[in-house]
Amino acid sequence: MEEQEGTLPQKADFSGWYNDILWRAEIMDVRYPVKGLYVWFPFGFGIRKRVYAILRELLDRDHEEALFPLLIPEHEFMKEAEHIKGFEDEVYWVTHGGTTPLDVKLALRPTSETAIYPMYALWVRSHADLPIKVYQVVNTFRYETKHTRPLIRLREITSFKEAHTVHATWDEAESQVETAIERYREFYSRLNIPVLISKRPDWDKFPGADYTIAVDTIMPDGRTLQIGTVHHLGDHFSKTFDIQYEDTKGQQQYCYQTCYGISERSIAALISMHGDDKGLMLPPEVAPVQVVIVPVIMKKREEEILQAAKTLEEELTRAGYRVKTDNRDIRPGAKYYYWEMRGVPVRLEIGPRDLDNDVVMSVTRSGGKEPLPRAEIVAEVSRKMTEYVSALHERANTHIKEHLFIVKEQEALKERVSKGVAAVHWCGNRECADRIEEISGAGVLGTEVRTDLIDSSDGDCIICGKPGSVVTLVGISY
Ligand code: A5A
Ligand code: ZN
């Protein structure tokens, strides 16, 4: 890799920090010559692989993974009116095979409802075929016109996990929505990313859905990032694509459906939530390297030190850790900098004095230096990992608490949303929402907020004063 010049901007300058850390920590190479398309470096892909292993693990409990084609014929894509309206400006079309114009234009999937549901119409025959719970992890294409950003707003989403379920009744689909929300909550809890879950206002729901529940987090600069959505599709698509089952009485019935998705925005949130001025801080579960060993060489005892490092590496590897010994011929300081940037949870230094004392010096990425007895290194590293995960958890929760404000006065709204998310009372009327957005310069994110961070009892609408209004999140989104 190239020699790295300069230093990482402070995290307080979030946008500078974010752009810089992507190449300094070797996550994404942004130099690919098409706007909105980026390259995963091997190190970044190692993180992605582990994050998506968690997602797969959670879904594989009761879903099945499948794979549908990238290309969607125009006539299928154009079937569901709301869905078309929502996506037509964002679709890439394949119009030629070589120099020959195609008879049927083909859309690059912006999402796969119209690829999957014609097949579901063939798969579903009777009530015995239900429910269907299938997911895939694929690339999708959206011609985004808002400012594109690596991992956040892509034109090729490379890591689109979409689940599509089919049920006999509206209620069963609703209960699947709840299951999906719980899975997403669990996923983000494994990554130590606190989330705000709420119901999107009607005008902001997924095109073709009955309703949409969104998962948001708050980025370091106070803006929100939507990192997952769960949609109740009702019977809109089953009527369009003719997905029917024969019930126990021999009657044909339309199915009810849900879909839910997560993209590499989950990785953007991971990087942003936990990183600091020195670089990444990765939860051990997704860190490509969990322990780095840095031998601090003194010429006279070089062999002895390297041998000790090797034994250490073997022992920790046997215990199941992903360990790397950095034997490069560069200054220890440069090695510390390098691995701190890449978010390695625990660093072990071993030099002549440590050998004499039968210890290893440990430095935890969240702070703290401590000599560990050589003989109990596996148990001691495990203790360090636990400490580190608690520190990540603590820092992330503090961040959310410090960026979530209960706002009762219109006058305070604009200032509050410049720093984070405002929780206000809103009566549900569009005019009041418009007014909230006008005053604040932010968006109404959602209602029916599922969090214990704030009191969610009803109150007076911040605009019209109507009593019994629901708590609503307002924020500036990415
Ligand atoms: N079929 C459903 C699941 C769907 O497409 N939902 S969605 O449009 O809301 O997308 C799912 C998730 O993908 C969003 O919640 C968001 O986190 C992510 N996403 C959407 N557009 C994206 C883009 N251009 N770049 C990166 N992630 C994106
Ligand atoms: Zn109102």
The CATH number for 350's domain is 3.40.50.800
345 CA to centre of ligand 2 in angstroms:
48
Which token pair is 342?
């890449």
CB distance 279 to ligand 1 below 6 Å: no
CATH number at residue 464: 3.30.110.30
Q: Is the dihedral of CA 46, 48, 51, 54 positive or negative?
A: negative
CB distance 228 to ligand 1 below 6 Å: yes
Residues in the chain: 478
Pairing of strands 224-234, 28-29: unpaired
Domain assignment of residue 453, yes or no: yes
CB 256 within 8 A of CB 167: yes
Number of structural domains the chain divides into:
3
242 and 328 together in one domain = no
CB distance 36 to ligand 1 below 6 Å: no
Domain assignment of residue 394, yes or no: no
Quote the CA–CA distance of 53 and 46 in Å, as a whole number. Answer: 11
Pairing of strands 280-281, 342-343: parallel
72 and 219 together in one domain = yes
Nearest protein Cα to ligand 1, atom 18:
263
227 and 270 together in one domain = yes
Final residue belonging to a domain, choices 384, 414, 444: 384
pLDDT of residue 298: 85
Quote the CA–CA distance of 257 and 280 in Å, as a whole number. Answer: 39
267 CA to centre of ligand 1 in angstroms:
13
pLDDT of residue 81: 85
The phi and psi torsions of 167 (rounded to 5 degrees) equal -135, 165
213 CA to centre of ligand 1 in angstroms:
12
CB 275 within 8 A of CB 253: no
Domain assignment of residue 1, yes or no: no
Quote the CA–CA distance of 26 and 43 in Å, as a whole number. Answer: 6
In this structure, what DSSP letter does residue 143 have? Answer: -
CB 339 within 8 A of CB 323: no
pLDDT of residue 1: 46
423 and 370 together in one domain = no
Q: Is the dihedral of CA 415, 419, 422, 428 positive or negative?
A: positive
60 and 186 together in one domain = yes
Kindly report the number of other CB atoms within 10 A of residue 237's CB atom: 29
267 and 238 together in one domain = yes
420 CA to centre of ligand 2 in angstroms:
22
Quote the CA–CA distance of 404 and 402 in Å, as a whole number. Answer: 6
435 and 380 together in one domain = no
251 CA to centre of ligand 1 in angstroms:
36
CB 404 within 8 A of CB 420: yes
In one letter, which amino acid is 348? L
Domain assignment of residue 283, yes or no: no
Domain assignment of residue 4, yes or no: no
410 and 376 together in one domain = no
Domain assignment of residue 397, yes or no: no
229 CA to centre of ligand 1 in angstroms:
7
Q: Which positions ≥6 away from 164 have C-beta within 8 Å?
A: 112, 113, 116, 117, 120, 132, 134, 135, 257, 258, 259
CB distance 272 to ligand 1 below 6 Å: no
Quote the CA–CA distance of 304 and 295 in Å, as a whole number. Answer: 10
26 and 89 together in one domain = yes
Nearest protein Cα to ligand 1, atom 9:
229
468 and 331 together in one domain = no
Quote the CA–CA distance of 316 and 318 in Å, as a whole number. Answer: 5
Domain assignment of residue 391, yes or no: no
CB distance 354 to ligand 1 below 6 Å: no
Cis peptide leading into residue 288 (ω within 30°): no
If residue 269 lies in a helix (H) or strand (E), which one and from where to where? helix 265-274
Among candidate residues 476, 415, 435, the one with its CA nearest the CA of residue 146:
476
Looking at all shown ligands, the one closest to residue 444's CA atom is 2
CATH number at residue 193: 3.30.930.10
Query: b/e map of 19-49 (b: 16 or more CB within 10 Å)?
Result: bbbbbbbbbbeeeeeeebbbebbebbbbbbe
133 and 252 together in one domain = yes
Final residue belonging to a domain, choices 323, 353, 384: 384
Give 10-residue mean pLDDT values along the chain (478 residues). Answer: 76 97 98 98 98 98 98 95 92 98 97 98 98 98 97 98 98 98 98 98 96 98 98 98 97 98 98 98 98 93 95 98 97 96 98 96 97 97 98 98 97 97 97 97 96 92 97 97
The ligand 1 atom at the shortest distance from the C-alpha of residue 155 is 24
Q: What's the helix, strand, coil split of the chain in %, to 5?
A: 40, 30, 30
115 and 261 together in one domain = yes
Best residue for ligand 1 mutational test, from 135, 140, 160, 478 (most atoms within 8 Å of Cβ): 160
CB distance 260 to ligand 1 below 6 Å: yes
Looking at all shown ligands, the one closest to residue 146's CA atom is 1
Among candidate residues 195, 197, 264, 236, the one with its CA nearest the CA of residue 52:
264
Q: What range does the domain containing 439 cover?
A: 404-475
The phi and psi torsions of 137 (rounded to 5 degrees) equal -120, 110
CB distance 362 to ligand 1 below 6 Å: no
Final residue belonging to a domain, choices 226, 251, 274: 274
Domain assignment of residue 279, yes or no: no
Nearest protein Cα to ligand 1, atom 15:
228
CB distance 195 to ligand 1 below 6 Å: no
pLDDT of residue 442: 98
Looking at all shown ligands, the one closest to residue 209's CA atom is 1
